[in-house]
Structure formats: structure tokens, C-alpha cells
Amino acid sequence: MAEPGVTQRLAAAGAAFTDPPAEGTVSTEPGALDAAGTRSPLSGLLGPAGGPVTFEERPFVGKLTLRGDPSNADFMAAAGKVLGTDIPTDPCRFVEHDGFRVHWIGFDNWLIHVPEGAEGPLKTKLEAALEGIHSAIVDVSDYYTVIRVQGAKARRLLQKGCPIDLHPRTFGPGQCAGTVFHHAAIFLAQTDADTDGGASYDIQIRWSFARYLWDYFVDGAREWGG
């Protein structure tokens, strides 16, 4: 085994790893702690490079859920002002503004994606702006991770387990949906359409289901040389 196990790599990253006094055994988990002492669920895993479908983890995307009453003009105005854009009221749509992405999840429920680290300041700003208005902002950055799937076969790969119709006639850039991929609940957003008939999707998946989904993608991409 040329590849060092997680124990060794964790040790290299400065983490103690023994249950006193027993020395641990080698793990098959490839991920290790990063320099900041944090670790994402798919850390270290690599998807197929090149080829008609590629996928990769986007670790630590900042994620906030925003709850509020869309019929409350004060709420809509205050939230929109902080975000710099009207929050979407059309079902299954998202808007992008200044590195923020605001997704419609439910009629009173939005998911905001921001660059890593921006979630804290944004939460503070939103909470201040929504003071006295019934609303809730919850940091779920670590609840989920995001897998970006793209390429000519991206849609085919997703349709191996996702029952919603991703055909360009019914689903396109700017659309998002809560749905399933076999046993996993996923939140899917189409970020852009490629020119070669493929597309790019961000799949938000719960931390504990991320490996399952990843392994499914790895297995599913094999027929295209993944």
C-alpha cells in the first residue's frame, strides 16, 4: 500500500490520533485535516478528470437558510436590501448577485450560498436588518456539502438516480429543486448550460450522505470512462 492511510496523514497534519494507549489502525477513508484543522466530508476524494462528466466537491461553501413571510413587505424589503437583490418568489428558481446565490426552497424558505467565510457576517447583517420581523436565519454551512457535476454526460449521470426531468425544455440554468437521488435527498441547482449539450449542476447533499452520493457518481460515470 503506497498510499498513506488517514492515520499517517492526520499525524502529518499535526493531529493526535491514538486512543490511549492503543495505536490506531489504517483507515480506508482518504480524507485528511487541512491546515486549518478542518475537514470536509469528501476531502481528498478525486472524481474522474476530463471525460464527458466530471465532479468535484466544493467544500465549505457558506450556507444560510432564511425563513420569512413573502407576503410581509417589510421582510422582503429588509432581506432584499442586505442581499442586494430581490429574493426569488418563483418556485424552484435562484438568483445570483455579487457572489451570493439565493435559492427558493419553499414559499417561505430560502437557501443562501456565499463564499467560504462570508456566512457569518451575512448572518449578522441579516439578523440586524430583520430585527423585530418574524424570521429565522440558520447557519447550515456544515450540514451539507456541495458537489459540482458538469460535462456532456452530467445530465445522464444525474438521471441515473434523480427522477425529475432535467431536459433543457423543462429545466435550465437558474432553476433549482429539492429532490432525491436514489436514497439520498438532494438539492440541485443548474448553474449554467454548456455549449456541448452538457450542463453544470451544484448538488447540495447532507454531510452524512455525501460519500454515498459520491460513490454512486463514481460508479455511474464508469461507463463513460470515468
Q: Fill in the DSSP letter of residue 166.
A: -
Cis status of the peptide bond prior to 88, with omega within 30 of 0: no
CB 171, min distance to other proteins, A: 10
Which amino acid does the sequence have at 84?
G
- Interaction of residue 58 with other proteins, rule CB under 8 A: no
Of 84 and 120, nearer to other proteins (C-beta) is 120
Cell of 55: 465532479
Of 105 and 146, nearer to other proteins (C-beta) is 105
- Interaction of residue 184 with other proteins, rule CB under 8 A: yes
- Interaction of residue 215 with other proteins, rule CB under 8 A: yes
Scanning 45-53, 79-87, 99-107, 146-154 for contacts with other proteins by CB under 8 A, the matching segment is: 99-107
Q: How far is CA 138 from the centre of its chain?
A: 16
- Interaction of residue 180 with other proteins, rule CB under 8 A: yes
4 to 23, contacts with other proteins by CB under 8 A? 5-7, 10, 15-20, 22
Q: Give the burial class of 3: count Cβ atoms within 10 A of its Cβ; 0-12 exposed, 13-18 middle, 19 or more buried.
A: exposed
- Any long-range contacts for 180-186 (C-beta under 8 Å, 24+ apart)? 181/213, 181/216, 182/216, 183/209, 183/212, 184/209, 184/212, 184/213, 185/209, 186/162, 186/213
* Residue 135 CB partners (closer than 8 Å, separation 6+): 66, 67, 68, 75, 79, 126
28 to 57, contacts with other proteins by CB under 8 A? 28-29, 31, 33, 37-41
CB 187, min distance to other proteins, A: 10
117 to 176, contacts with other proteins by CB under 8 A? 134-136, 138-144, 156, 159-165, 167, 169-170
Of 74 and 219, nearer to other proteins (C-beta) is 219
- Among 12, 24, 84, 99, interactor with other proteins by CB under 8 A: 24
Scanning 46-54, 75-83, 146-154, 203-211 for contacts with other proteins by CB under 8 A, the matching segment is: 203-211
